[in-house]
Structure 1
Amino acid sequence: MNRLLPHPALSAMLLIVWLLMANSITVGGIVLGGVFALVLPKFTQPFWPDRPRMRFGRAFLGYLGIVLLDIIVANFQVAWLILFRRNGDLRARWLVVPIDLTTPEAITMLAGTISLTPGTVSSDVSADGRYLLVHALDVDDAEAEIARIKTRYETRLQRVFA
């Protein structure tokens, strides 16, 4: 199975994206998308020699649920900030978040998660990969926000990429 589908998650994603781009589900679209989903991961396999092992079970679903919930809540929080607070009242801050994740894929997933959540943007990773620079729109306590990022996202990602 590993020889036919070296990256099953990538194959599934390619098929789904292909069908979404086609904007219709037809037999031809499924067949052509399936061919791409089988050929492209096989072709790119030499470029992924040390791919990380991810757990797509309970750990990943828990992480995904927390992220989706946080995105929804943060949308309302940012809307409230924009509608009811003056710009001078915002407490925008740069946060330097120490990270314990080791694989580039996990660090990228953490940075992407932070950027997906309205009100925060990941802007840089240190050269040694141990710190993440994050801009937050409205932060009362910088240390508490850093601790929240670490406990809500990083610890869950450590379980996903274990």
Structure 2
Amino acid sequence: MMRRLFPAPLLSLALVALWLVLTNPYSVGNWLMAVLLSVVVPLLTQSLRPTPVRFSHPWVAFQLFWRVGFDVIEWNWRVLRGTIARAERMPSGGFITVPLDLRDPNGLAVLAAIMCVIPGTIWSEIALDRSALLVHLFHLEDAQREIDLIKNRYERPLMEIFE
């Protein structure tokens, strides 16, 4: 019964918290709306979640969260320096193809989000068989080093979390 009413309990909790934060006064009406949203939205979006999320190793997820946060800050500085550099020192971007071992669709979705959040990187395309990822980098010096970085910093922890 509970699983049918709350197919995604973490999403439901997040929706309640988000609604209450956004509608600051904690009135009875806001609580009722938060609970209504926490029931209706997961039910309506259930078909958009084709595979259930198997989340394990929360400590690895916590470490990955902080690693991505620090990478965002570091790459913001790199992009800033690259955009204000003189013409002869302008970074040259390029595409790399990252071979993927990660197969879980939820893990791939998180990898896509990470690649889009890190300044200077863009998830460009994934192979139909999910075996490779095309990424554009704002500043590309050593393609193999960047491939290894993506695989070690992001893909390996995601495999540990989702597979």
Q: Which moved more, 1:70-79 or 1:84-93?
A: 84-93
Tell me if the contact between 1:18 and 1:33 (Cα under 8 Å) persists in the aligned partners. Answer: yes
Give CA deviations for 1:8-62 in whole Å, capped at 9, x if unaligned.
Answer: 2211232244345x44242222321122112322344466463121137212111
The answer to whether residue 52 in structure 2 is matched with residue 31 in structure 1 is no
1:108–1:46 CA distance, 2 compared to 1 (3 A): closer
1:74-85 aligned at under 5 Å gives the runs 74-85=75-86
* 2:61 paired residue number: 60
Deviation at 1:130, TM superposition (A): 1.1
Give CA deviations for 1:91-143 in whole Å, capped at 9, x if unaligned.
Answer: 21101111111122211210110110001111111111111110001111001
Distance in 2 (CA, whole Å) between partners of 1:25 and 1:160 is 37
1:30-49 aligned at under 5 Å gives the runs 30-45=31-46, 48=49
1:47–1:135 CA distance, 2 compared to 1 (3 A): closer
Distance in 1 (CA, whole Å) between partners of 2:114 and 2:88 is 25
In angstroms, what is the RMSD of aligned CA positions?
A: 2.2
**5+ unaligned residues in a row in structure 2: which ranges?**
none
* 2:141 paired residue number: 140
- The percent of aligned pairs where both chains have the same amino acid is 31
**5+ unaligned residues in a row in structure 1: which ranges?**
none
1:44–1:115 CA distance, 2 compared to 1 (3 A): closer
TM-score calculated relative to the size of structure 2: 0.86
Q: Which moved more, 1:86-95 or 1:98-107?
A: 86-95
- The one-letter amino acid of 1:31's match is L
- The one-letter amino acid of 2:113's match is G
- The one-letter amino acid of 2:55's match is M
Tell me if the contact between 1:52 and 1:103 (Cα under 8 Å) persists in the aligned partners. Answer: no
* 1:102 paired residue number: 103
Equivalent pairs counted in the alignment come to 161
